[in-house]
Amino acid sequence: MKKYYIKDIVNFKKIGKKFCSITAYDYMSAKLISDADFPLILVGDSASMVMYGYCDTTPITMEEMLLVLKAVIRADSGSVVVADMPFMSYQASLEEAIKNAGKFIKCGANAVKVEGASLDTCNKIKHFVSSGIPVVGHIGLMPQSINVTSGYSVQGKSRSRAKQIIRDALSLHKSGAFCVVLEGIPSQLAKLITEKISIPTIGIGSGPHCDGQIQVFHDVLGLDKSFLPKHSKRFFNGYDSFLSALHQYEDDVAQGSFPSSENYTDIDNSILEDISEDY
Ligand code: KIV
Residues 6+ apart with CB under 8 A from 31: 75, 77
Q: pLDDT tens, 126-162?
A: 999 999 999 999 999 999 999 999 999 999 999 999 9
Tell whether 153 and 266 lie within a shared domain.
Answer: no
Give the β-pairing of 201-204 and 212-215: parallel
What number is the average pLDDT over the span 248-254?
A: 98
pLDDT (tens digit, 9 = 90+) per residue, 96-116?
A: 999 999 999 999 999 999 999
Q: Is 183 a catalytic residue?
A: yes
Buried b (16+ CB within 10 A) or exposed e, 71-96: bbbebebbbbbbbbbbbebbbeeeee
> What pLDDT shows up at residue 65?
98
Domain that holds residue 179: 6-236
DSSP, residue by residue, 100-117: HHHHHHHHT-SEEEEE--
pLDDT bucket at 279, cuts 50 / 70 / 90: confident
Verify that 158 and 262 share a domain, yes or no: no
Q: With H, G, I as helix, E, B as strand and everything else as coil, classify residue 199.
A: coil
Q: Are 147 and 260 found together in one domain?
A: no
* HSE toward the beta carbon, residue 6, CA cutoff 13 A: 18
Atom of ligand 1 nearest to the CA of 46: 1
For ligand 1, pick from 56, 84, 223 the residue to mutate: most ligand atoms within 8 Å of CB. 84
**Whether residue 273 sits in one domain with residue 199:** no
**pTM for the full predicted model:** 0.96
pLDDT in tens, 63-92: 999 999 999 999 999 999 999 999 999 999
**Is 1 part of any domain?**
no
> How remote is the CA of residue 96 from the centroid of ligand 1, in Å?
22
pLDDT of residue 222: 97
Most ligand 1 atoms within 8 A of CB, residue of 33, 40, 42, 180 to mutate: 42
CATH classification at residue 69: 3.20.20.60
H/E element, 50: helix 47-50
Q: Confirm or reject: Cβ of 125 under 6 Å from ligand 1.
A: no
